[in-house]
Amino acid sequence: MKKTFFLAFCLTLTALCFASAETRNIEVNVIVSNISESKGQLLIGIYDKEEGAFETSSQIAGKIVPAQAGEMRFKFQLPAAGQYAIGVIHDKNSNNRLDTNFLGIPTEGYGFSNSASRPNFDKAKINITDNQTINIAMQ
């Protein structure tokens, strides 16, 4: 009886260890450079799938912070290592969106992971692992 109880206890403990290891978040550092001025805010979003990518409602992590000219650093917790895309908008007039001119060309700064120039998940996706630093240069 004692052996059975001990064996069941060990199996339960082992299962709990594996379960907690699977749900451990990873930390990602994002460095945003070439911020043109200390006006408005930065909108930063992290996405894990193509569907709804670069839409606020589809973010798995995000921040809105006052913009500072030059370079800013951010830390995010993600649920697991994997493929993600990161988008940043320098929302100078704080209207929570990227403004464009009549031709659809952005009039505010933007940047994407993987140096992507257009908001496309496949072009912007990168493999993220624990304690990784991602550099994004604003356009």
Alpha carbon of 65 to those of 18, 25, 39, 87, 93: distances in Å? 36, 23, 11, 14, 13
DSSP string, 43-112: EEEEESSSTTTT-GGG-SEEEEEE--SEEEEEEEEESSSEEEEEEEEEETT-SSS--B-TTS-BSSEEEE
CB within 8 A of 55, min separation 6: which ones? none
Quote the number of domains for the chain. Answer: 1
| 19 in a structural domain | no
Would 11 be classed as within a structural domain?
Answer: no
Look at residue 10 and tell me if it is in a domain. Answer: no
Residue 131, CA distances (Å) to 29, 56, 90, 102, 125 in order:
7, 24, 25, 41, 17
pLDDT in tens, 21-67: 455 789 999 999 999 999 999 999 999 988 878 887 889 999 999 99
Residue 20 has pLDDT above 60, yes or no: no
Average pLDDT, the chain: 85
Do 138 and 34 form a contact (C-beta atoms < 8 A)?
yes
**Rg of the chain (C-alpha set):** 20
* CATH code, domain carrying 82: 2.60.40
Q: Record the tokens describing residue 70, joined without a space.
A: 């030059």
Q: Considering the domain boundaries, does residue 15 fall inside one?
A: no
Provide the domain limits for residue 125.
25-137
Does residue 127 lie in a domain region? yes
Q: Is the pTM for the entire model greater than 0.85?
A: no
Pick from 50, 45, 111, 112: nearest CA to 83:
50
